[in-house]
Amino acid sequence: MSGAPLSPEQLALRERQGAGARYDADAAPHAHLDLARRGTAYFARRLMQLDDADLDAPSLLPGWTRRHLVAHVGYNARAVARLVEWARTGVENRMYAFDTQRWDEIVLGATLPTRALRHLVDHAAVHLDVEWRDLTDAQWDAEVVTAQGRTVPARETAWMRAKEVWVHTVDLDNGGSFLDFPPEMVDGIIADVLRAWTRRSEPGAVVLRATDRDAAPGEYGEGGPVVEGAAADLARWLAGRGARRLRVVGGGKLPAIARWF
């Protein structure tokens, strides 16, 4: 599978950067990589707006300080990079070698000096980007196993990372909003939640109606209430980050929904 032809500007950039520069393979999931990289920049901007002392305050995740959250985002990049390395080398390399590794890393990361914690996020993101750019066309389709036990092609790692950085920026609780997300990220989250519910055969039913979209964003089950609002507000609710500006058509309370993942 080949990508779109390079523009004259892109060709000129590659010539300036030289043969040693890394680029995504033609068969890479370019749209999802773009979302992951833009989300990484979004998280970095919001994190930079926080003073060191601000990191000790609670995040929007129950029981987590911002330090825990920042550590998670950094170590998640390392975990995703392990899957990408698996795809590149063919040698099994799980996201986590043992059941408690994810939480152990978060707890450890939260104790790091603030400068080291910030560097963790930056360096881990760069490492992941390098691993992505080292994949060949064929390696993007190599199978790896997620922390949830799903077998997926390596191209799924770009979307996995995009979800982490965009949603956890909101969890920093310093002004990040689903309203800031690109439309394709919002729509992707809605579709991802519905897919997750379907895989797990979750109970319940709901019809989603986005007031700012021509097409309906989706529905789950049969005969559920119609929940209406902007697509970003629907995504926020489905992602478990609270309900704002949503209404049930015909009246009544919002239905209870299952977790995302």
pLDDT tens by residue, 151-175? 999 999 999 999 999 999 999 999 9
- In the chain, the percentage of residues whose pLDDT exceeds 90 is 89
E strands within 96-237? 143-145, 151-153, 206-210, 218-220, 226-229
Any domain includes 42: yes
Domain identity same for 195 and 171: no
Please answer whether residues 74 and 118 qualify as being in contact, where contact means their C-beta atoms are separated by less than 8 angstroms: no
Any domain includes 32: yes
Write the CATH number for 224.
3.30.1050.20
pTM: 0.92
pLDDT mean across residues, the chain: 94
Number of domains in the chain: 2
Question: What pLDDT sits at residue 120?
Answer: 98
Mean pLDDT of 239-260: 96
pLDDT at 1 over 50: no
Domain identity same for 159 and 192: no
Question: By residue range, what is the domain housing residue 70?
Answer: 24-176
Dist CA 102 CA 91 (whole Å): 21
Last residue within a domain, chosen from 129, 147, 176? 176
Write the CATH number for 92.
1.20.120.450
Dist CA 169 CA 66 (whole Å): 10
Domain identity same for 47 and 156: yes
Any domain includes 193: yes
Domain identity same for 195 and 124: no
Any domain includes 256: no
Residue 215 pLDDT grade (very low, low, confident, very high; cuts 50, 70, 90): confident
Residue 12 pLDDT grade (very low, low, confident, very high; cuts 50, 70, 90): confident
Any domain includes 57: yes
CA dihedral 40, 45, 50, 51 (to 10 degrees): 110
Domain identity same for 159 and 224: no
Any domain includes 136: yes
Question: What pLDDT sits at residue 20?
Answer: 63
Tokens read off for 240: 């478990």
Domain identity same for 54 and 98: yes
What is the per-residue pLDDT across 51-67, written as a single tens digit (0 to 9) for each? 999 999 999 999 999 99
- In the chain, the percentage of residues whose pLDDT exceeds 70 is 95
pLDDT at 2 over 50: no
Q: In what order do the strands lie in the sheet with 247-248?
A: 218-220, 206-210, 226-229, 247-248
What is the per-residue pLDDT across 120-149, written as a single tens digit (0 to 9) for each? 999 999 999 999 999 999 999 999 999 999
Domain identity same for 156 and 205: no
What is the per-residue pLDDT across 76-120, written as a single tens digit (0 to 9) for each? 999 999 999 999 999 999 999 999 999 999 999 999 999 999 999
Mean pLDDT of 234-239: 98
Number of H helices, E strands in the chain: 8, 6
Domain identity same for 37 and 89: yes
Question: What pLDDT sits at residue 9?
Answer: 67
